[in-house]
Amino acid sequence: MADKRTMTLNLTDDEMNALDALSSRYDMTKTAIIRKALRMYQVIDTRLQRGEKLFMEDEVEKKKSELLVL
């Protein structure tokens, strides 16, 4: 397993509430949620850098919308 390092994270109340909600919904620690989010961001960013686009699709409504990622 890769070595891990510790850091302090400063979040607003809203951000912390969002993190709490995700942590509770998925039965995971906040650290695990942030690690997952970072991994997803990393993959999305790599593909956006290649010139690809990220879409969300609503199968019922047959709608696609482009998602902007910074």
Cβ-count burial 17-56 (b if 16+ within 10 Å, e if not): eebeebbeeeeeeeeebbeeeeeeeeeeeeeeeeeeeeee
| CB nearer other proteins, residue 3 or residue 66 | 3
Three-state SS at 16: helix
| CB nearer other proteins, residue 12 or residue 30 | 30
Shortest CB 44 distance to other proteins, Å: 10
- Which residues in this chain contact other proteins in the complex, by CB under 8 A? 1-2, 25-29, 31-32, 35-36, 39-40, 42-43
| CB nearer other proteins, residue 14 or residue 59 | 59
